[in-house]
Structure 1
Amino acid sequence: MPSSERATDGSTQPHSPFERALGPEAVAALHPRLRAYVGAIPAGHHGVGRGTYEVAGSRRRWLRPVLAVLAREQVLFPAHQRDVPFRIRNDEGPWGRRAQREFGFLSGRRTMVDEVHLVDGRLVDDIGSHRRFRAELEAGVDDGALVLTSTRMLIRVGRHRIPLPRRWSPRLHLVERFDDAAGRQRVDLVLVAPAIGRLYEYRGTFEYRIVGGEDAG
């Protein structure tokens, strides 16, 4: 990663990007199981989860040509389905948290990749296999849940990242909470565009744990 994209606050503490963006008081307000989820993953270990999305994809058929292009970048997919099995694997990289999500659509398995890290003290998510898409994120805690909302979307063109105009840029909203009654973690993500509405979504529950490298499959 170019040095201009590395975390620049000088921290050498073993904290994840989420912990550093939230701060200690907000981290303490998270559900205990979510503190483990957002916390730094020990060296030689991985975070792994398995579950089912109650719904995943986009209902808007006119978007499918665009989504087909984004699928090649491992971003979003031209599908909409209920009861989608999925797996997630999180790894702590040199600069941030790498995630790989595998969706078991009836049309075939699809993989989404992203990396969350800090840039100049801001939490950002670089999305896709070529990291062409970036969401700048605002992180908070609401009733023990982690809430992430995008404040700006950017596209990388060559060496430059170009922000999308706010008047039509999609906005990402993600909530991670722990359901004590079910004993499972719940995720709810939605991508909404002004004047259009919901473009893409996935929501469901999963079980998550930290495992050694040999158990990460």
Structure 2
Amino acid sequence: MSGIYREVLGSAFDRLRPELRDYFSLPVGAVGTGTGTFARAGCPRPALRPLMRAVPLRGAFFGDYGEQVPFSIENRAHRDAAGRPALTAVRTFRFPSATRIFEDTTTLVAPGRLQDALGTGRRLVTGLALSPRADGALVMDSFGAALHLGPVRVPLPGPVGASARVVQWWDAASGRFRISAEVRQRQLGTVFVYDGAFDYAVG
């Protein structure tokens, strides 16, 4: 297995920049780590921060917000309990007043189909669509959000759910990876962001 992203994109995977192809080719059993700084991270709207703090997802969204926030990321490729290839990413945000974790696990649930589960309990799940951009960046869009409450799956209708877009690319000028993420809710607008640059290595 050469990585779940290559499995889903097929020949389109080769349209990514070489650095991104390496990043997204983590085989089962491998670990990649990185460190960097987010120019901005968290909930950008003060009025919404109490609401974000109340979201009952441990290891996912939070109400903090800051600029020039140091962070680290650990990507671990593994197999889930059903034997399916998966990638768990743990991002650690180091705000001046607190350290926050944002974790998600992306799983190849069927040929050509990715599912992303957020938080340490993996209760909020979405589909994940991948699109290589003309400049070699990778765009990742969530869709079809649902809550897993024990054995029950509860789809979140459009007016209630939120969607996320993550763009990752290689900045040749700085020799670093860049990433930009935005979570939008239909009624509330942008509720969560992170945007920054980082160094990364496998092993």
- With the length of structure 1 as denominator, give the TM-score of the two structures: 0.85
Aligned to 1:19: 6
Q: In the aligned structure 2, how far is the partner of 1:72 from the partner of 1:137?
A: 19
1:138 to 105, 129, 133: 129
Aligned to 1:149: 141
Are residues 40 and 59 of structure 1, via their aligned partners in 2, closer, same or farther at CA, if it must alter by over 3 Å?
closer
> Is the CA contact (8 Å cut-off) linking 1:103 and 1:110 kept in structure 2?
yes
Q: In the aligned structure 2, how far is the partner of 1:52 from the partner of 1:71?
A: 27
Percent of pairs with identical residues: 32
Query: What are the ranges of 5 or more consecutive residues in structure 1 without an aligned counterpart?
Result: 1-13, 212-217
1:114 aligns with 2:99: no
TM superposition shift of 1:72: 5.9
Q: In the aligned structure 2, how far is the partner of 1:102 from the partner of 1:77?
A: 12
TM superposition shift of 1:107: 1.6
Are residues 138 and 42 of structure 1, via their aligned partners in 2, closer, same or farther at CA, if it must alter by over 3 Å?
closer
1:41 aligns with 2:33: no
Q: Which has the higher helix share?
A: 1
Letter in 1 for 2:96: L
1:54-99 Cα distance to aligned partner (Å, 9 max, x none): 0001123333333224476110111110000000011111130011
Are residues 104 and 185 of structure 1, via their aligned partners in 2, closer, same or farther at CA, if it must alter by over 3 Å?
same
Aligned to 2:201: 209
Query: What are the ranges of 5 or more consecutive residues in structure 2 without an aligned counterpart?
Result: 80-84
2:159 to 167, 170, 174: 167
Are residues 71 and 164 of structure 1, via their aligned partners in 2, closer, same or farther at CA, if it must alter by over 3 Å?
closer
Aligned to 1:68: 53
TM superposition shift of 1:42: 6.0
> Is the CA contact (8 Å cut-off) linking 1:100 and 1:113 kept in structure 2?
yes
Structure 1 residue ranges (4+ consecutive) displaced by more than 3 angstroms after TM superposition: 69-72
Aligned to 1:87: 72
- With the length of structure 2 as denominator, give the TM-score of the two structures: 0.91
Matched residue pairs, number? 196
> Is the CA contact (8 Å cut-off) linking 2:129 and 2:142 kept in structure 1?
yes
